[in-house]
Structure 1
Amino acid sequence: MTFQGFPDEGLVFYEGLEADNSKTYWTRHRAVYDACVKAPMQALVDELAAEFGPAKLFRPYRDVRFSNDKTPYKTHQGAVANPEGRGASAWYVEISAEGLRVAGGAWRLESDQVERYRRAVADDVQGPRLRDEVGRLAAAGWSVDGDRLTRVPRGYDLGDDARGDLLRHRSLHAGRLFDFAEWLHGREALEQVRTAWRDLVALNAWLADNVGATTKEIRRR
């Protein structure tokens, strides 16, 4: 299937799901989700796979086991491309009633990865590289976020406010939201995602080179 845009019916589907997040609504509109949300998202990431690697679409069902919010369905469809050998770094895209969200970076780091990340930030070559790249992204309109400590971890005192802030991070990613626009319904959406992901190449390369994959054995719940 060639990507031709996200049909308006898909966005309307999510508007309705936000108002009625129930199995009854989902069952009644499942065909709309499949045709107007899931299928175009799969087509989008398939066309980007040659450059960014294959992507995984997230399931539409929420894991409510440990949440006070028991609504059963996600009000967005996300997909993540995490090429083999690139460790924690990934590219992300999401469609919802709000519009199109794109992002890249590392969302979850294990303790060994956090330690390598901190050593790299403190390094006099790699640290300034990341500081400058994060500054460039922020100036270009990206929101730079991530789980972070309230203060710089013990043992690190760089005398550099920007790198000190980066040292507080336990994960690091950049994202932006494109509000609803007519181009969402056509192939321009593909080029918007491609251009945005290309803008995150340097951030993801830094994370892949300096953080990499975890060496810990991950226990699955």
Structure 2
Amino acid sequence: MNETIPRETFSFLKKLNKNNNREWFTEHKKEFKEIEREVKQFYNQLGEELNKHDQIDKVKVFRIYRDVRFSKDKTPYKTHFGGSFHRIKPQLRGGYYLHIAPNNESFIATGFWEPHKDDLLRIRKEFEIDDTEIRKIISKKSFKDVWGEFEGDEVKTAPKGFSKEHKSIDLIRKKQFIFTKKFTDKEVTSAGFMEEINVYFKAIRPFFNYMSEVLTTDLNGVSLLD
């Protein structure tokens, strides 16, 4: 069991940032593999903790290698660790993400990063009909103290088929529905980090429960899963 991120993680990533080339990485690959092993243990243990109050069917830790085919930045390696936790679909929607990066740039994220166009339309239609429940959830003090406000991209005025004068246009114009929370390097390597972020992830559940219900029913409330 590994419930902490080793301090060596940040020092290695800082060195990698200064030496982002195949020669240096090959020379230090043994060091990387040991750090990667411990970091993956942390992600997998966090997945087990999430499974105590949610249903996670997959923990995915992303590879360190960058896809540079369509990027102007040709450096071959990422200078962070990232991993996602997938809920059991189609009945449970939303997901969790943990980003480990030096210089106090670590964060957790949760919500809906790139909703499928059909899901996005369904969400917008729900907000168009009734925004009472979603506003009640995200404005509750216990929720807001943890997650703050919605983040993510949005259209400038109104999506096609929606009025820019609608009272819920602040919600309808969103293309993403995400929340993030940042952490310092000291917080990430502390003994209580896993427990802390697990509590934060647990706090998102009212939002996930609501969105899962929306995305598994039609506008009449009839289940789409039968």
More displaced, 7-16 or 140-149?
Answer: 140-149
More displaced, 194-203 or 135-144?
Answer: 135-144
Deviation at 1:208, TM superposition (A): 2.1
SS at match of 1:59: coil
Q: Structure 1: which 5+ runs fail to align?
A: 213-221
User: Is this contact kept in 2: 1:133–1:202, CA < 8 A?
Assistant: yes
1:72 counterpart = 2:76? yes
User: Is this contact kept in 2: 1:146–1:172, CA < 8 A?
Assistant: yes
For residue 184 of structure 2, the aligned residue among 179, 188, 192 is: 179
Please name the residue that 1:108 is paired with: 114
Change (3 A) 1:83 1:31: same
Q: Output aligned runs, 1:94-105, within 5 Å.
A: 94-99=99-104, 100-105=106-111
Query: What TM-score does the superposition give when structure 1 sets the normalisation length?
Result: 0.81
Please name the residue that 1:146 is paired with: 152
SS at match of 1:81: strand
Change (3 A) 1:29 1:142: farther
Distance, in Å, in 1 between the alignment partners of 2:171 and 2:146 is: 18
Aligned residues: 207
- Asked which structure has the greater CA Rg, the reply is 2
Please name the residue that 1:32 is paired with: 31
Q: Structure 2: which 5+ runs fail to align?
A: 217-226
For residue 174 of structure 2, the aligned residue among 149, 162, 169 is: 169
Distance, in Å, in 2 between the alignment partners of 1:38 and 1:133 is: 38
Deviation at 1:97, TM superposition (A): 0.6
Query: What TM-score does the superposition give when structure 2 sets the normalisation length?
Result: 0.80
1:19 counterpart = 2:18? yes
Distance, in Å, in 1 between the alignment partners of 2:68 and 2:92 is: 28
1:93 counterpart = 2:92? no
Distance, in Å, in 2 between the alignment partners of 1:22 and 1:29 is: 11
Give percent identity, aligned residues only.
22
